[in-house]
Amino acid sequence: MFRVARTGEAWQAELLFKTDRKRFASEQQTPVFLDGLLYAVLPGDGGGERQQLVCMTPAGERVWASGKQNVFGLGPYLAIEGGRLLLLDDVGTLSFARVGRDGFQLIGRYALMKGKGRDAWGPMLLAGGRLYLRDSTRLYCLRLGDS
């Protein structure tokens, strides 16, 4: 974790702390900052909590992991308002969860690609109430309603 500050015309980065792949890391996707907390899916070599969603404070305190029943591979995750995340696993199962300091709460899960998605790792996009997501061969567009 770095703090970047500007002094006059110069920018400087200060190292605040380091972490390892078993505590907080992300292999394919960019970690998400939502409501003051950081979220990432640990890589496949991330130890006993590999491929789980993990939560960390900006100060480096690990808060929780989603649990072995909630793994996401290299799939993307997207923050949406109200402390919620959309997560897609490698085979195209879409999960909807509420997250925060209190933990991971699965709201729903849908096998969008019927377990046959191939490398469903591309970033997701939410625009105009529509969610765009893909695997290596198909593009999907879902209209999201209020929840």
Ordered domains of the chain (ranges, CATH): 20-143 (2.40.128.630)
Place of tokens 């993307």: 76
pLDDT tens, residue by residue, 41-87: 999 998 999 999 999 999 999 999 999 999 998 889 999 989 999 99
117/96: higher pLDDT: 96
Cβ count near 118 (within 10 Å): 13
Asked whether the predicted pLDDT for residue 5 surpasses 60, the reply is yes
The yes-or-no verdict on residue 147 having pLDDT over 80 is: no
Q: What torsion, rounded to 10 degrees, do the Cα atoms 116, 122, 128, 130 define?
A: 0
DSSP 8-state class, residue 138: -
Q: Indicate whether this model's pTM tops 0.85.
A: yes
Alpha carbon distance 123, 89 (integer Å) = 12
Instruction: Give the Cα separation of 76 and 29 in Å (integer).
Output: 6
